[in-house]
């Protein structure tokens, strides 16, 4: 199996486990292929960063598909009203 194919399989498994609420390290997933651990770590860190940046994950680290009650991030498009999140801003004019 090609290196990239195996890396993608490991990444998919990492994501599946996270969705089940299991926080498994890339090193644990790469027990039988330690040469891929560093590359998998970089990929998982990038995904975690972007999920947090885009509001898809809460500070708790849980996916937004199952957020705690105090987390506003969701995957179904629900979000706090603009008046709750942006204060002191107004629209000067709309662009046609």
40-72 residue pLDDT tens: 999 999 998 998 889 876 545 555 444 444 455
CA distance 56 to 74: 6
pLDDT number for residue 17:
94
Those residues whose C-beta lies under 8 Å from the C-beta of residue 72, and which sit 6 or more positions away, are 55, 79, 80
| φ, ψ of residue 63 in degrees (nearest 5) | -60, 150
Those residues whose C-beta lies under 8 Å from the C-beta of residue 15, and which sit 6 or more positions away, are 47
CA distance 5 to 59: 31
pLDDT number for residue 63:
53
């Amino acid at each position: 199996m090609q290196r990239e194919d195996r890396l993608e399989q490991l990444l998919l498994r990492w994501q599946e486990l996270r969705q089940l609420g299991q926080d498994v390290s890339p090193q644990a997933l790469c027990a039988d292929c330690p040469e891929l651990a560093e590359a998998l770590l970089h990929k998982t860190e990038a995904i975690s960063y972007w999920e947090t940046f885009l509001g898809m994950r809460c500070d708790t680290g849980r996916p937004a598909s199952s957020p705690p009650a105090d987390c506003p991030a969701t995957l179904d498009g629900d979000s706090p009203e603009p008046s709750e999140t942006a204060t002191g801003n107004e629209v000067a004019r709309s662009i046609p």
